Amino acid sequence: MAISKINSKSIEDLQISADDLANGTVTGAKLSYPLTTFSSTGIDDNATSTAITIDSSENVGIGETAPLGKVHIKSGDSGASSVAGDKDELVIENNGHSGITTLASDGSESGMFFGHTSDTRAGEIYTHYTNQLMTIGTRMSGGQVKFISDNGSERMRIGSNGRVGIGTTTLTYALNISESTGNMRIKTTDGQNVANASTSILEYHGTDNRAGYVGFVGGDMVVHTDTYSAGDIKLQTNGSERMRITSAGKALFNTTVTDHGMVVSSGNDTAGNNACYGLVRSGYRSSIGISSTGNMTLKTQDAEIRVEDSAGNNTVVSPHNFDWIPSGASEDLAWSYYSRKGDEENDFDNTKYISADITKVIRKVENLTGDKLIYTGTGNTDDGSTVSQNIIQSLIDRIETLEAKVTALETS
């Protein structure tokens, strides 16, 4: 058998026995190793040095004669002598940047899948150029995604329900943050000077619209509820409510009573108990309620100051109300006594009133006794009342002295 050239076909058909070699049947063919040229359908070797090595463990090295994994592709020596044995099926190595590139058309996904026996697409990383989107995640039912740092310590987790945990694996709420050192802070920063139009806020949204936010807006710290929720703003300490600003703009301290513009309580929510203080400005009225046993409310109404006790007696303190006196005030600067009992606004027919012109009453007393009881003036000018009174008082003193002397003479 004379073979002048060995190729894939001739090798496939070639059978050489020991007798063929002994009797000289095979002649005219020489094989030398390594082969400097080799060709076969689908393979064209033009390398000048060893490009592919298959070792005794059937590991394949491309550019590497001692593969560190099942397939080891090497462009340059990184200096590493081993790799982790639990993930060494494919090793990519270089002495500079190293990596794997996947290419796809703009409208297709380019990435990698990670699978298991029960789920061949349990995890994935891919990009979609047209959608401008990179996706990292899991498709496992109930699967979660976690992020680690510092030698494998878990730092963040996204649960199968979409909840996020930072520093914790307990995903009770939409965002769960835990800091073991106690130095917990969330910091937001924008590129504006805080005294200008700087805005840094945390918003709360429902299914329909924004409910409110907490943030720094235009140089001011703002706690805000939107009209969509019509909610109050509450401040609590030790698990109990201490202050509330209602959606109507009323301020409540240590109480939920809303019948005044501002209510301050020492502890009991019911107005009139345990020192409940109220301030209100509504329409033509203003009032201050001060009570440790439910006794007093100080109000302004019709340009007057009133005091209201627990029995409902509403008495004018600044006495210039002559509404129930037919002739009105008896003179300029006259003052009155005025009191009312009952709900004037809601039950006028059953409201009781009493009113008196106190100035007129005193004038009557002056006329009957001859005593000067009312003194008036303008600026520093006296109306003569003080002088007349001094003269009268002097005469009275003299009369009393003479009466005493007459009595003494009569008894002697």
With cut-offs at 50, 70 and 90, classify the pLDDT of residue 161.
Answer: very high
Domain boundary among 311, 328, 357: 357
Average pLDDT over all residues of the chain = 78
Cβ–Cβ under 8 Å, residues 315 and 306: yes
Residue 279: its pLDDT value, please? 55
Distance in angstroms between the alpha carbons of the first and the last residue of the chain: 189
Cβ–Cβ under 8 Å, residues 279 and 266: no
**Strand bridging mode 352-357 / 377-378:** unpaired
Residue 250: its pLDDT value, please? 83
Residue 367: its pLDDT value, please? 85
**Of 85-99, 210-224, 368-382, which has the strongest mean pLDDT?**
85-99
For residue 67, whether the previous peptide bond is cis, meaning omega lies within 30 degrees of 0, is: no
For 320, other C-beta atoms within 10 Å of its C-beta total 15
> What span, in angstroms and rounded, lies between the C-alpha atoms of 186 and 158?
19
CA angle 159, 161, 167 (to 5 degrees): 30
- 244 to 35, 149, 241, 299: CA distances (angstroms): 91, 43, 8, 23
> What span, in angstroms and rounded, lies between the C-alpha atoms of 393 and 409?
25
DSSP codes of every residue in 87-108 = G-SEEEE-SS---------TTS
Residue 11: its pLDDT value, please? 52
Question: Which neighbouring-strand residues pair with 136?
Answer: 125
Domain count, the chain: 2
Whether 258 is in a domain gets the answer no
Query: Per-residue pLDDT tens for 29-65?
Result: 555 555 556 666 777 777 778 889 999 999 999 999 9
Whether 314 is in a domain gets the answer yes
Task: Kindly state whether residues 342 and 385 are assigned to the same domain.
Answer: no
Whether 393 is in a domain gets the answer yes
Task: Kindly state whether residues 386 and 353 are assigned to the same domain.
Answer: no
Whether 385 is in a domain gets the answer yes
Residue 188: its pLDDT value, please? 72
The mean per-residue pLDDT over the stretch 293-305 comes to 60
Q: What is the pTM of this model?
A: 0.51
Whether 406 is in a domain gets the answer yes
Whether 20 is in a domain gets the answer no
For residue 34, whether the previous peptide bond is cis, meaning omega lies within 30 degrees of 0, is: yes
> What span, in angstroms and rounded, lies between the C-alpha atoms of 377 and 386?
10
Q: Which is more confident, 231 or 53?
A: 53
Whether 37 is in a domain gets the answer no
Task: Kindly state whether residues 308 and 352 are assigned to the same domain.
Answer: yes
CA-nearest of 285, 313, 309, 287 to 298 is 287
Task: Kindly state whether residues 352 and 385 are assigned to the same domain.
Answer: no
**Of 145-149, 290-294, 317-321, which has the strongest mean pLDDT?**
145-149
Query: Per-residue pLDDT tens for 361-401?
Result: 998 888 888 888 888 776 655 555 555 666 666 777 777 78
The two structure tokens encoding residue 389:
């009174």
Instruction: Give SS3 for 309.
Output: strand
Whether 168 is in a domain gets the answer no
Cβ–Cβ under 8 Å, residues 253 and 243: yes
The mean per-residue pLDDT over the stretch 133-144 comes to 94
Looking at the predicted structure, is the pLDDT value of residue 275 above 50?
Answer: no
Residue 401: its pLDDT value, please? 81
With cut-offs at 50, 70 and 90, classify the pLDDT of residue 158.
Answer: very high
Task: Kindly state whether residues 384 and 341 are assigned to the same domain.
Answer: no
Looking at the predicted structure, is the pLDDT value of residue 104 above 80?
Answer: yes
Looking at the predicted structure, is the pLDDT value of residue 186 above 70?
Answer: yes
With residue 358 as reference, give the H or E element that holds it.
Answer: helix 358-369
Query: Per-residue pLDDT tens for 337-362?
Result: 888 888 877 888 888 888 899 999 99
Cβ–Cβ under 8 Å, residues 371 and 365: yes
> What span, in angstroms and rounded, lies between the C-alpha atoms of 212 and 225?
4
- 250 to 233, 247, 254, 255, 259: CA distances (angstroms): 10, 7, 13, 12, 9
Domain that residue 307 falls in? 302-357
